Amino acid sequence: MKACWALGGMILALSLGLIASAGDDGKKRKGDFETFFKKLDSNMDGKLTRLEFLKMADRAKEKEQARQKLGLEYDKLDPEKKGITKDVFRRFLENGKNGKQLPNPSK
């Protein structure tokens, strides 16, 4: 339970960071999400690999713990190991901000 709260807090912080820098303009928010996704997507294939996704842990205070938790989340988001699309990543951030778990896409 404590781990869920910690991961939720980290996702919330990342999400709020994106939103706070966006102001009230919806277009700017979308642009900030796009910028964040592109920054993580180092090979620019439009999907996040496990290593690219785990780059988010570099922003956490306890990086190794964050990597472990993000690794578990990545496995849930991408059970077929094809990479996480922008839409799945956006839902992941939005659900984390709201404290909800993302449904398992394999169901």
Cα dihedral 56→47→15→78 (10° resolution): -80
The predicted model scores a pTM of 0.65
pLDDT, residue 96, reads: 78
- CATH class name, domain 2-96: mainly alpha
Residue ranges in the chain whose pLDDT is less than 70: 1-31, 97-107
Q: What is the chain's mean pLDDT, rounded?
A: 78
Which token pair is 67?
């990597």
Residue 14 structure tokens: 């990342």
**Chain position carrying tokens 């991408």:** 78
- Which H or E run includes 16? helix 2-20
Position 103 scores a pLDDT of 47
The predicted structure's pLDDT at residue 97: 62
